[in-house]
């Protein structure tokens, strides 16, 4: 895979943003492989993502940051640049259900997800054999009566393994506010409902009682507000009145794992920009 620098930016909308960014790259004979941008006309905000061939530039990533900083400051940008050859470190968290985590592990094992998975953390032992088959360390951290101690241990493991991203692959525990705040924009959850409908526990049973004709899943960033974080990806499946809650659960599992995989890929490729409580997907 060709090495690229991913330059992702957002700032108040104004004339000349694209020209200034492009001119900066062009003055060093840089080659832009991909360019995406979007204007939020209601909030007067501009979003941009460029992929630049690393070998076309006469310097490395740190010099790139130093040289681009004055331009970003002048435009009032929030920005970052990443190297596609530096694999993000993704810590997975799970409970008992295997469909989401097994899908992610398989995609990682086959090379479909460009990341490293340094460990899996779980509050149950059920998936230990599955995880260790992939050669990944498995940490069993039971919840018990002392949730504070549980999350203290979890936080230590996340820090120890230098996680860039944390994926809640049906972890089924509510993270405390301090963890949400420390890893804002880095924790991805899969909720087995098409949010904002049927938030909280047993959404398929809620959907069954409501008699809906579509069920879905939502991949979103975790915030202190339960199931209300910025949405990355969603999808749905059609159902009928003949289906029982267990049928909806079975069908929903397929949607969940696909939505989580898509959302994680978008995040790993720096295609997601969070603005207020929404996301801009520059794919």
Catalytic residues: 227
Cβ atoms 229, 248 nearer than 8 A: no
Strand order in the sheet with 138-140: 138-140, 120-122, 90-94, 165-168, 187-191, 214-221, 231-238
Q: Which distant-in-sequence residues (6+ apart) come within 8 Å of 60 by Cβ?
A: none
Distances (CA, A) of 282 to 5, 35, 267, 268, 279: 15, 9, 11, 13, 10
CB atoms within 10 A of CB 148: 8
15-41 residues labelled b (16+ CB within 10 A) or e (exposed): eebeeebeebbeeeebebeebebeeee
Q: What is the C-alpha to C-alpha distance for residues 143 and 229, in angstroms, rounded to an integer?
A: 24
For residue 96, give the 3-state DSSP assignment. Answer: coil
User: To which H or E segment does residue 35 belong?
Assistant: strand 32-40
Number of neighbours of residue 233 by Cβ within 10 angstroms: 23
**Which segments within 147-223 are labelled E, that is strand?**
165-168, 187-191, 214-221
- 194 vs 192: CA distance, rounded Å: 7
């Amino acid at each position: 895979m060709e090495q690229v620098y991913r330059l992702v930016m957002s700032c108040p909308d104004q004339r000349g943003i694209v020209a200034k960014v492009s001119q900066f790259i062009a003055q060093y004979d840089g080659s832009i492989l991909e360019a995406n941008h979007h204007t939020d006309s209601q909030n007067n905000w501009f979003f941009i993502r460029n992929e630049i061939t690393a070998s076309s530039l006469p310097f490395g990533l740190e010099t790139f940051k130093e040289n681009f900083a004055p331009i970003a400051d002048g435009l009032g940008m929030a920005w970052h640049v990443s190297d596609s050859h530096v694999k993000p470190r993704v810590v997975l968290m799970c409970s008992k259900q295997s469909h989401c985590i097994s899908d992610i592990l398989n995609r990682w094992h086959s090379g479909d997800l460009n990341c490293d998975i340094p460990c899996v953390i779980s509050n149950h032992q059920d998936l230990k054999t599955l995880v260790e088959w992939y050669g990944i360390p498995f940490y069993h951290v039971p919840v018990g009566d002392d949730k504070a101690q549980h999350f203290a241990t979890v936080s230590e493991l996340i820090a120890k393994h230098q996680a860039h991203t944390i994926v809640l692959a049906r972890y089924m525990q509510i993270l405390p506010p301090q963890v949400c705040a420390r890893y804002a924009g880095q924790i991805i959850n899969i909720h087995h409902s098409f949010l904002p409908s049927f938030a909280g526990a047993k959404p398929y049973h809620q959907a069954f009682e409501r008699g809906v004709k579509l069920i879905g899943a939502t991949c979103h960033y975790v915030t202190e507000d339960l199931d209300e974080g910025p949405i990355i990806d969603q999808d749905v499946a059609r159902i009928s009145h003949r289906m029982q809650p267990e049928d909806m659960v079975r069908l929903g599992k397929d949607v969940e794992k696909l939505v989580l995989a898509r959302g994680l890929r978008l995040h790993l490729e720096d295609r997601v920009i969070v603005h207020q409580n929404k996301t801009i997907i520059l794919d």
